Structure 1
């Protein structure tokens, strides 16, 4: 099923739903040109990228945003998921739209789903873009998070807490100093976040670390406290020249609401260079 509406960017958005094996995935589809699927951060949905999708459409890209199951019109079991299941949901969207091989851009947690898809269904993926995405594996003895950041990360989407408490947690975990953390007070889906955490824990990072053999764009936020810049070398050291790294200044782990134009430029430039 396909319906039409408009986002705040005034760009026409086509909304599709596709169903297979008891799972329905809603996809927001905007623009024309080479296809890029944008996968959201942990416990968050496609609406985070309304403005960003417009920027990509303006740069000549067809931007597709699958809603994670449990958000919007996307439905399916949430118990006992693995990363295979989450990647399969994206595969359903890519296959149903006939857009393989497509660029899969994963924001934060979404980068794990993108790399999983490239691992299990390489024929569907023309490249993976990691937007503020952690490599997932660190050098021996390194700790990924400062304890304060880890505690703040848990508070951000805890809707039982007051706005001021959550706002301060967002500033610590997701946003660089001076950027507006208030834009992420809403948009959290705790039941989806919990299911995605289970899927992550059920699937060793080693399974999808390499992202198959796909080319990888690593868009690093210079002030990221989650996917810290000091670990940006990990993927390049392991995977070599198929990894391209771009650093966005004055941005934290939220990245896209902080510096949407810079991220759109980096992503579009990489895609256009690959597709001509």
Structure 2
């Protein structure tokens, strides 16, 4: 084989490799800071394509969705994960209502110039997600309510909204408790039977937890319950011990689609990241095609 032919083959091989690695470059993770007055929001971003925003659960970081975000980015989406105040480099006044948490997300989307996007709110994150859809309808075209407590209850229910397993939810992130007690709480509130709750022994941010609970308690549920008028995916977990299921659709009608993730509890993301990401991607494609 001549030297010239070898050189051509090497060049073609390099071109072939370059053509098959865009998914690798799409996984480049960036962290940016957006400042608005005395508020600073850190955002984890990766991927290229239509935007999906993920808002984390009570007192926990956007890093819980590392695998979900990776899968979505591989699937052709740009994923933005704003860290709530009190987590990472995000900071600001902590005695605020749900409108303020929604405004933090809006500042990130305005900075990115995204236009209307699909927003995923996991557990507590469903509340600022819905608030954002109410306060800034120009920024939201669809909502995914992942393991989301609706904040309202079916007619005739005697439960208290956001009241299920309150001791276990709050105790799971109480770092002053013995590890054995926290594991018991994690099993009760967050993980499906047979799943290891140890990954969630860490990753709790008590100051953020307190601020988010305060915002939930002082903001009327009716201010954000409906999430504006956009389509909603009610993404339920088969073994969710915290959420009262099937509240959204009876109250909000046909704009709500219900899907259940098998073998998952309230934590969902560490238990079934592939199923969670696939459900989000399917919904997002439908919304962006409209």
Change (3 A) 1:239 1:10: closer
Distance 2:161 2:31 in 1: 38
1:65 equivalent in structure 2: 81
Of 239, 254, 257 in structure 2, the residue corresponding to residue 241 of structure 1 is 254
Q: Which runs of 5+ in 1 are unaligned?
A: 1-8
Distance 1:217 1:250 in 2: 19
1:92 equivalent in structure 2: 107
Q: CA deviation at 1:51?
A: 1.4
Query: Would you say the 8 A contact 2:164–2:242 is kept in 1?
Result: no
Equivalence map 1:110-259=2 (5 Å):
110-139=125-154, 140-143=156-159, 149-228=165-244, 231-232=245-246, 234-259=247-272
Query: Would you say the 8 A contact 1:145–1:226 is kept in 2?
Result: no
Count of matched residue pairs:
264
| Runs of 4 or more above 4 Å deviation | 144-148
In terms of Rg, which structure is larger?
2
Match of 2:103, SS? Answer: helix
Q: Deviations over 1:48-99 (max 9, x none)?
A: 1111110111111111000101111111111x21000000000001111001
Instruction: Give the root-mean-square deviation of aligned CA atoms.
Output: 1.8
Q: CA deviation at 1:205?
A: 0.6
Distance 2:28 2:138 in 1: 29
1:31 equivalent in structure 2: 47
Does residue 102 (structure 1) correspond to residue 120 (structure 2)? The answer is no
Match of 1:12, SS? Answer: coil
Q: CA deviation at 1:150?
A: 2.7
Query: Would you say the 8 A contact 2:26–2:74 is kept in 1?
Result: no
Distance 2:218 2:116 in 1: 27
Q: CA deviation at 1:147?
A: 8.4
Distance 1:240 1:180 in 2: 36
Change (3 A) 1:145 1:114: closer
2:15 equivalent in structure 1: none
2:59 equivalent in structure 1: 43
2:276 equivalent in structure 1: 263
Query: Would you say the 8 A contact 1:132–1:253 is kept in 2?
Result: yes
2:12 equivalent in structure 1: none
TM-score (norm 2): 0.87
Q: Which runs of 5+ in 2 are unaligned?
A: 1-24
Query: Would you say the 8 A contact 1:105–1:111 is kept in 2?
Result: yes
Q: CA deviation at 1:154?
A: 2.1
Distance 1:259 1:209 in 2: 26
